[in-house]
Amino acid sequence: MPPRLIPVARPIILCDDVLRNPEKGNVHVMNVFNAIRPRAFAGYPHMHTRFCVFLQLTDAQGRMPAYVDVVDADSLDVVHRTAEQLLDFPARNFLIRASFEIRDCRFAHPGVYWVQFHGNGEFIADHTLRLLEPRE
């Protein structure tokens, strides 16, 4: 049996929403961000109701279960895990687009969090998300 191929994520994008046009195959990534700043009245812990993680993946073959974790960089605690999706790579050079929805993610404090993509139970790539001090 050939070794299992690990896909390459090009890129990982954090955004408010991912809209797909099934007729044209286009994807619209809405309101890209790398940081979240709660309002002053909310403070911490901060409950972020919803955001999306968009990935373009290539260099894998076959079916692969995948999920996204949000990890506190200080404690290495997983603060949120998405539902698992089954991704299908019809050929190694085929590019697939995947999106994962993060709902009701609780951030205990300001600082660095990692949004980590996992496939076949293995870490593949991550993106830094900064939680900032509340806005005055």
Q: Mind listing the pLDDT tens digit for each residue in 36-95?
A: 999 888 789 999 999 999 999 999 989 999 999 999 999 999 999 999 999 999 988 889
Domain borders along the chain are 8-131
Residue-wise DSSP of 32-97: E-SEE--BTTT-SSEEEEEEEEEEEEES--EEEEEEEEEEETTT--EEEEPPPEEEEESSTT--EE
- pLDDT-derived band at 124, boundaries 50, 70, 90: very high
Give me the CATH topology for the region 8-131.
Answer: Immunoglobulin-like (2.60.40)
Residue 3 has pLDDT above 80, yes or no: no
Q: Please give the pLDDT value at position 7.
A: 85
Q: Please give the pLDDT value at position 6.
A: 79
Q: Mind listing the pLDDT tens digit for each residue in 14-36?
A: 999 999 888 887 889 999 999 99
Q: Please give the pLDDT value at position 1.
A: 42
Greater confidence (91 vs 105) lies with: 105
**Average pLDDT of 128-135?**
93
CB 54, CB 97: distance < 8 Å: yes
Residue among 113, 119, 10, 93 nearest 54 (CA): 10
Residue 2 has pLDDT above 70, yes or no: no
